[in-house]
Structure 1
C-alpha cells in the first residue's frame, strides 16, 4: 500500500498543474468552479470583515487621545473599539435585537452601535484622578449582511429560514431604511506611489497620495520656470524644494545633489533651485523652518496644538509624505524619498518615455466596501474628535476655577456622537 501511495505521488506532475492556462476555452471552464468556491460577493465580505476586526482599531489607535488645550492634564483616551450586535433603541432604555428581514418590513436601517472603552481624568488644581468607562456608544454603523457582525453569520439553512432569509442569498449588501443597497467598487490611483505626470499648464510634476491610519494627504513636487517647488495644502504658496530639504536637516547642497544623482545633467537641472534658496539667504535648518512658518495657512482647530516645535516642523513630519514615517525626528528617510521624486522628474524631463500613464492598470487599485467605509469612518471620527475638543475647551474656559471636572463631562464629550451615524 505504501509503495502504491508513493507511486501515485510520483506520477503527479506539479509543474504541469501550476502552469498557466493558455487557452481561453480552458479558462472559461474554470469560471463555474471559481464561483462555487468564491462566489460573487466574497471579496466584499472579506473587505468589510477586515475593517470591522482590524482597520477600525488601527484608525482609533492612531487618533486615540483628546487633550484639552486649556488644561493638558485633562484628557480622554480611547482604549478599545468594537462593533456591537445589531440593535435598536425602543425608548426608556429598552434595546431590541434587529434582523435584516425585520428592517426590510419596518423601513429601518440594519445597523449596530460602535462601542469604545475610554479612560479620562477628572479634577483641577493638581488634584486629578483617572477614571474608566466601558461600552460607550459613539455612533451607529450599517452592517453588511452575512459579514462577521451580522446575525446571519454562521447560520445553517433552518436558522436562516426562521429569520426569514433565503439560504441562497450571498449577502454583501446593506439594508438602509428598508431598502437594500450595495457599495460599488471604485477604481482609484495607487496610494503611497510616485506618479510622474503633467498638470494643466504642461509642467511636469511628481505626486504621491499618502494614506496611513493617522493621515491622508497629497504631496506634489512641480517644476515651474526651471525651478522645483512643493505644493501642499497646508502652505499658502508653493515652497522651493531646496528650502524643504534644508528644513528637514539636509543643509549641505552637495549632499542633496549627490543624493539625487551624480549625472551632470541632474546637477544642471537642479542648479536653479539651489540658487533660488541661496538668493533668499536660507542656509540652515532654523532659517528654513522660520521661512516655512510664515507660509503656513491658518490651520484648523485640531492642528493648533503643535507645541514648541512649531507648526512647520509638525506638518513636515506628519502631513508631508505621511507614508514615510519619521522616528525620533530623523527626517533622512523622507529626504531620500524626496530625492527619488526629484530624480524621476528629471528623468521624465530628459526622456518623455519615463512619464507614468494614469490609465495603466498597474497604477490603479480597486477599493472595496471595507476600504470605502474605512475612509468614511476615519473622516467622521476625526471630525467628532475636533468638535469634542473645541466644546470641552469652551466649557473649561468658562467654568469656575474652584470646581472640578466631574463625570458628567464624559457624557458631554459624546454628545456629538451623531457625527458617526453613516448615511449610505
Structure 2
C-alpha cells in the first residue's frame, strides 16, 4: 500500500485538485466569463459594453494573465517569488491584460490592450514563477528533478510544499472546497405541505453563474404545478408546456406519459387548463403567463415579461434562445413524468446524500464566481467613466476609463476576509501551518453549506458512496461534525469535460439523439 501511495504522489501534489481547477480557470473559464458578460439593457449581446453615448459601444476581446511581479519604489519591476511575498507582506498576484475594441457608428477601431487589475496567483499553478517550466524559462536553463529541488531550496522554497493556496498581504490563504447538490440534474422527493405528503421534482438549473430552482409538484387533487423564480404563484404545467410550443393534446401526452396509468392524471390536467384557465393554444398560454407576471399592465409588456420568463429564467442551462423553448417543454415533461413515477410507486425518491448527486466546487470554480461579479462591476464602472468623459467633452479612450483598482480590490478583499459572493463566509481561510500534515489536511478539506445549528442527521452520517472518496475518521467534534470532511488519501477530482465531447461519445456507444419530431411531428432535431 505504501508503494502505491508513493507512486500516486510522485506524479501529483496533495493539492492537485485545486491546482488543476485553478489552471482551468486561468486558461479557459476567465475568457468564458468575459465572453458572456454584457452591460446595458437586456437586448445587448454578450461581450459588449453599451454606453449611453450615441453610436458608441465597447467590444470586449481576449484576456490574458501575466506572471507575478513586484514593483519597487524606484519604478523598477522584477518577477516575484512566493517566499519574497511572504517575507515582505506582499500579495502574490499578476497583472491581467484585456483587449477592448471601441465601436463608433458600427465601425470597429484599433484595439487597445489595457491592464484591468491584478489576479491572485495560486502557488504551484501554471502561472506561478516557481513552477518547473516557468522557472526554467526565467532562469534560461533546463533542470532535472534533483536540480529543480535544489533551485527551489536556493530560492528558500520547500520542494515538498503542496501548493494550492494563495498569498494575500503576506498571509497564506486556502480556498476550502465546497460540497453542493449537482446542478442541472432532476431529483424527486416527498415534501410535507399542510400536513400532507406531496411529490416534487426539482432541478437547480445553472448557466454562467446564474442559478434558478425549478420544481414540478403534484397537488392533492392531481394537478401538476410549476414553481419558477420571478413568478409569485405556481403556474399549471400544461399552460407552461403550451406556451413553450407543444400545441396539441397528443404532443403533451407524448412528452409526459410512458405508462397507461399516467394517462388519467395528464388528461385531467389538460382538461383543467382548457376549462378553468381558458388555455387551449400557445397564444392563450402566453397571455395567461403575462397576466400572472404583470397583471394590469399593457398587453405588449405582459407578453414581453412572459417571453423573458421562458427564455431567461426557465431552465437557463438549456439556453436563452427562443429556438430552445421546445427543448424546455420536453424537459418539463420529463420532470412531470418523474413526479408521476414517484406518486405511482414506480420509482423511489432520490438520495440527496448519495455522492453521485453531489459536486465539489474547487478553487477554480470559486474564483470564477468571484471574478464574474468583480468583472461585471468593472465593466459597469467603465461604462460610467466613458459617459462621464463624454459629458465633459473629453476624448473617449478606454485606457483612461479603466480603473484597475475596482477589480483588484474586490478580488483581494474577498480573499483576505473569506467573505465570498453569494453571502458565503469562511470560504478563504488562513492556511494551518501547525505541522506538515495539518497543511496537507487543510488543502484537502471539504465543507458542506448546511447550517451548523440544525441537526441534519442524515447529512452528517457516513454514506456508503463516500467510501474511498472521503476520510471516515477525520471530522471535527461539535457542531461541525460530519459537515466538515476531508478527502481520502488518493482521491482524485475529475476536471469535467465539454458537453459536446460527451454527447459524441454517447452517440458512439449507441445512444440515439432525441428527435423533437417524435414529440411534435415536425422535422426538427
TM-score by length of 2: 0.65
Cα distance between partner residues in 1 of 2:314 and 2:268: 23
Return the match for 2:217 from 214, 222, 226. 222
Q: Distance in 2 between matches of 1:393 and 1:118?
A: 13
Residues 118-152 of structure 1 show CA distances to partners (whole Å, capped at 9, x for unaligned) of 11224xxxx56533444323332211101011111
How far off is 1:384 after superposition?
A: 4.0
Equivalent positions of 1:297-316 (< 5 A) are: 310-316=304-310
Match of 1:105 in 2: 87
- Following superposition, the deviation at residue 45 of structure 1 comes to 1.2
Matched residue, 1:301: none
Tell me the secondary structure at the aligned position of residue 269 of structure 2: helix
* Aligned residues of 1:246 and 1:288 also touching (Cα < 8 A): yes
Q: Find 1:347's aligned residue among 308, 321, 341.
A: 341
Which residue, out of 316, 320, 332, partners 1:322? Answer: 316
1:128-277 map, 5 Å: 129-154=107-132, 155=135, 156-199=148-191, 201=193, 202-213=197-208, 215-225=210-220, 226-277=222-273
Report the number of matched residues: 382
Select which of 17, 22, 27 maps to 1:43: 17
- Is the contact made by 1:139 and 1:417 (CA closer than 8 Å) also made in structure 2? yes
| Contact 1:381-1:420 within 8 A present in 2 as well | no
User: Larger deviation: 56-65 or 267-276?
Assistant: 267-276
What is the CA-CA distance between 1:376 and the residue it aligns to?
Answer: 2.1
- Secondary structure at 2:129 match in 1: coil
Further displaced range: 340-349 or 184-193: 184-193
Paired with 1:346 and 1:283, the residues of 2 have a C-alpha distance of 23
Contact 1:215 1:318 in 2 (8 A): no
Which of residues 331, 336, 340 in structure 2 aligns to 1:337?
A: 331
Structure 1 position 96, deviation (Å): 5.1
User: Residue 34 in 1 paired to residue 5 in 2?
Assistant: no
Asked if structure 2 preserves the Cα contact closer than 8 Å seen for 1:234 and 1:297, the reply is no
Instruction: Structure 1 unaligned segments of length 5 or more: list them.
Output: 1-26, 299-305
Cα pair 1:66 1:385 within 8 Å, conserved:
no
**Does the 8 Å CA contact 2:79/2:129 hold for their aligned counterparts?**
no
How far the C-alpha of 1:204 sits from its partner, in A, is 2.1
Change (3 A) 1:98 1:293: farther
What TM-score do you get using the length of structure 1 for normalisation?
A: 0.78
Q: Which residue of 2 aligns with 1:362?
A: 356
CA distance in structure 1 between the aligned counterparts of 2:371 and 2:323, rounded to whole angstroms: 29
CA distance in 2, matches of 1:297, 1:31: 61
Shift of the 33–414 alpha-carbon distance from structure 1 to 2, 3 Å rule, reads: same
Uncovered stretches (5+) of structure 2, i.e. residues with no partner: 38-45, 136-147, 416-525
After TM superposition, give the deviation of residue 280 of structure 1 in Å.
1.7
Seen in structure 2, the aligned counterparts of structure 1 residues 388 and 233 have a Cα distance that, compared at 3 Å, is: farther
Higher alpha-carbon deviation: 141-150 or 345-354: 345-354
Secondary structure of 2:67's aligned partner: coil
Give how far 1:104 is off. 0.8
Q: Which residue of 1 aligns with 2:282?
A: 285
Closer, same or farther in 2 for the Cα pair 1:294/1:421, shift >3 Å?
Answer: farther
Residue 14 of structure 1 aligns with which residue? none
Report the 3-state secondary structure (helix = DSSP H, G, I; strand = E; otherwise coil) of the residue aligned with 1:355: coil
Deviation at 1:49, TM superposition (A): 0.7
